[in-house]
Amino acid sequence: MANVRSKRYKKRNRRGRILITIMGVLLVSVFAVQIVELGAKNSMYEKQIASLQEDLDEQNERKVKLQEKEKYMQTKKFVEEYAKEKLGLIYPNEVVFKAD
C-alpha cells in the first residue's frame, strides 16, 4: 500500500514539475516577444527624437535670423532703403536719374 501511494505521489510530482516547466517556458516566451516589441518601439522613438531635434535646431536658427532682422528693421538704414524702394521717397536735396 505504501508502494502504491509512493507511485501516485511521484506521478503527481512529475506532472507538477512538467506543468511548472511549461508555464516557465511560456512566460519566458511572452517576455521575449515583449522585449522584441519594446526594442522596435524604442528604435522608432529614437528616430522620432532625432527628427524633432533637427526641427528644433532649424527653428532656433530661424529665430536667430528673425531676431537679427528685427534689429536691422529698427535701424535708420532700413527705413531709408524701404522708403526709397517701396514708397519711392527721396530726400529733398537728392536728385534721381531714371534710365529710358
pTM: 0.55
Is pLDDT of 37 > 80?
Answer: yes
Is pLDDT of 74 > 90?
Answer: yes
Q: Is the dihedral of CA 43, 47, 52, 58 positive or negative?
A: positive
Please give the share of the chain, as a percent, with pLDDT higher than 90. 63
Instruction: Supply the pLDDT for residue 45.
Output: 98
Mean pLDDT (whole number) for 82-92: 86
* Tens of pLDDT, residues 38-67: 999 999 999 999 999 999 999 999 999 999
